[in-house]
Structure 1
Amino acid sequence: MRSETRFRDGHLRGTASMKITTAGLILFTPQYQACVTFYRDCLRLRLLHRINRPGETLSTFDLGGAYLMIEPEDDPAAALARLPLKLRFNVPDVQASSEKLRQRGVEVRLRHHSWGSTAEFSDPAGTRCALRSDEGFGV
């Protein structure tokens, strides 16, 4: 039996949610190895698994309970056309984490907002990334 709720706008919405066991992001990039190195060595994400067989190459990193999968993309224009996103990593101390990235050769732009601080940077494929202060998140 399905459980549904009819809202004033006339739409039906189920009250039972889909059981998601793990969530992840897949980054398709022409700079596959540079991105693997960046997320492993600069951000120090833990490698969960890697596949490197003819016609099948990918690396998957732990992303704080979710995962980031990196796969090669042969068409740079197609990869860039799919990048209207920013990967954000919440950290306890944006300033200290930014300094660690700078020491690893990453260009970081620190920004202060009314709700906290962010540090903006890009991976080798041009994917926008940011650190965000944990304080006040979700409030």
Structure 2
Amino acid sequence: MEIRETGIILFCEDYESVLAFYSEKLGMKVRQRSKELATLDFGGSYLMLEEEGFASDKEKKRSQNPTVIRFNVNNFDSSVSELMARGVQVKVESFDWGTIGIVIDPEGNRIELKD
């Protein structure tokens, strides 16, 4: 098998709200968009947003969504500051292995920035 590209599909209950969050708040470039799905640049890969998901008003438990979206960034502090300036809440936590910034999207999905 020769893999041309990798991607992640995230199912959304409120597709328009989630698309606005990822494109406007997180600054991800939209590659293509239709009424029911959108594809965004995700490093050397893509993130596809589709309808028919499940939203939560707080962070989903691992049993509800066992996946974390991870962004390894070049400048952690600058990235955190940029997101906070856009109105995104970022919770910074430090561990022996590094520092992460935790962001929860409008539907309760966990996103992490990694230094």
Give the TM-score taking structure 1 as reference length. 0.73
Give 1:73's aligned residue.
52
C-alpha root-mean-square deviation of aligned residues, in Å?
Answer: 1.7
Q: Read off the aligned partner of 2:38 and give its amino acid letter.
A: S
Deviates more, 1:82-91 or 1:60-69: 82-91
Structure of greater relative contact order (alpha carbons < 8 Å, 6+ residues apart): 2
Q: Give every structure 1 segment of 4 or more consecutive aligned residues whose post-TM-superposition deviation is greater than 6 Å.
A: none
Is the Cα contact below 8 Å between 2:93 and 2:99 reproduced in 1?
yes
Rounded Cα–Cα distance in structure 2 between residues aligned with 1:75 and 1:110: 26
For structure 2, list consecutive stretches of 5 or more residues without a partner in the other structure.
Answer: none
For residue 115 of structure 1, report the CA deviation from its aligned partner: 2.2
Q: Go from structure 1 to structure 2 and tell me whether the alpha carbon gap of 1:75 and 1:124 turns closer, same or farther (over 3 Å shift).
A: closer
Are 2:44 and 1:61 aligned? no
Q: How many residues align?
A: 110
Give 1:22's aligned residue.
5
Instruction: Give percent identity, aligned residues only.
Output: 35
Instruction: Tell me the secondary structure at the aligned position of residue 34 of structure 2.
Output: strand
Rounded Cα–Cα distance in structure 1 between residues aligned with 2:52 and 2:89: 24
Instruction: Tell me the secondary structure at the aligned position of residue 19 of structure 1.
Output: coil
Rounded Cα–Cα distance in structure 2 between residues aligned with 1:51 and 1:71: 10
Rounded Cα–Cα distance in structure 1 between residues aligned with 2:68 and 2:93: 15
Rounded Cα–Cα distance in structure 2 between residues aligned with 1:74 and 1:89: 22
For residue 82 of structure 1, report the CA deviation from its aligned partner: 5.2
Give 1:132's aligned residue.
114
Rounded Cα–Cα distance in structure 2 between residues aligned with 1:130 and 1:74: 20
Rounded Cα–Cα distance in structure 1 between residues aligned with 2:21 and 2:111: 12
Give the TM-score taking structure 2 as reference length. 0.87
Rounded Cα–Cα distance in structure 1 between residues aligned with 2:109 and 2:55: 12
Superposition pairs for residues 1-139 of structure 1, below 5 Å?
18-52=1-35, 57-73=36-52, 76=55, 83-133=65-115
